Chain A
Amino acid sequence: MNFIYRAIFEVQEFFLLCVHAIANIFRKPRYHQDILLQMDVIGVGSLIIIILTGFFTGAVLALQSAKSLKSFGAVGLTGQLVALSLIKELGPVLTALMVAGRNGSGIASELGSMVVTEQISAMRALGTDPTRKLVTPRMIAATTMVPLLTVIADLCGLLGGWLVSFYKLRLSTSLYWSAAMKAIDYNNVLEGITKPFVFGFIIAMIGCYCGLRTHGGTQGVGRSTTQAVVFSSILVIAADFFMSKIILDLRY
């Protein structure tokens, strides 16, 4: 009973934080400087790992799928398969997981350290709302940067798939890209960039929530960081499932 009560309480607190963070967008003061700084940390900072992740994912997709497609005599469709899986699923999810590991943990440990060194209390004592100054900028930055990173990951993945198709599978460049372009239609792209908005929001808010509820000194900071990565990763994958379901239901 106690466990259920606590779980409900945590969920309630999380939603309250989300509501406050969103409401702050429409109220002054706004912290443009902090938003830009966070965009730099999350967006530019994650660029390298996103490029690498996207590239190798696309490459391995081409490599593995060619084998199965070959038994149907459909190696020519490799481009389509790579593009479809990347844009609809793997691009958004893998980008989100990388950002969760990199920035979700970073947000949680930074805010957690601020809690245990009383910097959050000091901020409130100085008359500044930490939700406004710390949470909202991170939420805005993650929600806008994860979709952009996803697009970059998709492009790099297509490039990786092409390299494998061209050099390993001996497919012609035009065959690969024309197959790929077939998968890149309006609906798929729309699905592929709606998801990362939600993922970015989840990563930032879970990171902030875990960070702000830190207690118990430096050990607590470690615990919060771990929890932030675990929760945001699970939520990203779960949200991906439900969003895919909803989008499929809507479309067909």
Chain B
Amino acid sequence: MSASSSAMIKLQDVTKSYLDQEVLKSINLEVGRAETKVIMGGSGAGKSTIIKLILGLEKPDSGRIFIEGEDITPLSEQELMRVRKKIGMVFQEGALFDSLTVGENVAFKLREESVYDEDETQVVVRRLLGFVGLENAIDKMPSELSGGMRRRVGIARALVGNPKIMLYDEPTAGLDPMTSRTISELVIKLRDLEGVSSIFVTHDLSTAFTLASQFAVVKNGSEVQFLGEDGKLCLINTRFVMIYDGKILFEGTDEELKYFDHEYIKEFLA
């Protein structure tokens, strides 16, 4: 295996257009082990499209996409199901099944695969809901939850099967700063404690900078602590990717982004 194929996710010259509009023009992107790429850009810049392509929900017009070294572009829908099992996806509004309770939502994948019996399923569901701090909501319907809670359930549901890759599609859009922070902490915990590789699509700057400057450590055996709250740290495992006009305009750390000389980025950060 070559060094490049050890990347968890790799996009090679990927293009995608809808009808006549070219959304992505030659995107090259790599995400390594336990690394987070924060993809930023204006609305309609094709950020969510990248995630859908990685998950195989849509096919690129040209170019290739590798997941753990495997080219997924020629795979059929049936074969893609196997690849998708390695990936956890958090959708914009949570995308919970509104005919099922919170517990059933989280248990959905386990019941589909029917590897566990009912007792074991319940244990896993409670553990995952505990991780996102929503153990008490297990019997609630998604419509009874707030926006932030829905997304946390979405994270719990995506974590079934301990995926090594997580994709977040604007999980903090439209949330208040406190709730956004809770979600950022979950993402940081997964990155630093579980070694999950992830792509985090957002246009929320404060969330992005939180991800790039804080890290989680375990103190005294079980207590999780977040360090770097002053925002002065510059983490190497979290890099920013700026999409503009269907191309990658910038890729690097948050510090580099602040001093990058380009009209659009300056405007974006202002």
Contact = CB atoms under 8 A, between A and B. Distances in A.
Contacts of B84: 124-127
Contacts of A126: 84, 108-109, 112, 157, 160
Given A29-B112, A126-B109, A119 B95 contact: yes
B93 A125 contact: no
Interface string A183-211: 00000000000000000000000000000
B75 to A, nearest CB: 13
B87 interface: yes
A118 B171 CA distance: 14
A117 B154 CA distance: 13
A246 to B, nearest CB: 35
Contact of B109 (A118, A119, A127, A129): A127
B81 A129 contact: yes
Contact of A124 (B57, B92, B113, B157): B57
Nearest to B108: A126
Given A127-B84, A129-B77, A129-B81, A122 B95 contact: yes
Contacts of A122: 89, 91, 95-97, 157
A29 B109 CA distance: 13
A63 to B, nearest CB: 44
B211 interface: no
A119 B97 CA distance: 6
A57 B52 CA distance: 51
A65 interface: no
A244 interface: no
B241 to A, nearest CB: 21
A117 B93 contact: yes
A114 B113 CA distance: 22
Nearest to A124: B57
B77 A121 contact: no
Contacts of B57: 121, 124-125
B91 A127 contact: no
Contacts of A118: 91-93, 95
Interface in B148-199: 157-158, 160
B201 interface: no
Contacts of B108: 126, 128
Interface string A96-125: 000000000000000000100111011111
Interface string A202-240: 000000000000000000000000000000000000000
Interface of A: 29, 114, 117-119, 121-129
A-B interface, 4 closest residue pairs, ranked by CB to CB distance from nearest: A118-B95, A122-B95, A125-B89, A118-B91
23 contacts: A117-B93, A117-B95, A118-B93, A118-B95, A119-B97, A119-B98, A121-B52, A121-B57, A121-B95, A122-B95, A122-B157, A123-B97, A124-B55, A124-B84, A125-B89, A125-B91, A125-B158, A126-B84, A126-B157, A127-B84, A127-B112, A128-B108, A129-B81
Interface of B: 52, 55, 57, 77-78, 81-82, 84-85, 87, 89, 91-93, 95-98, 108-109, 112-114, 157-158, 160
Given A119-B95, A126-B108, A127-B85, 20 more contacts: A114-B97, A117-B95, A118-B93, A119-B97, A119-B98, A122-B89, A122-B95, A122-B96, A123-B97, A124-B55, A125-B55, A125-B89, A126-B84, A126-B157, A126-B160, A127-B81, A127-B84, A127-B113, A128-B112, A129-B78
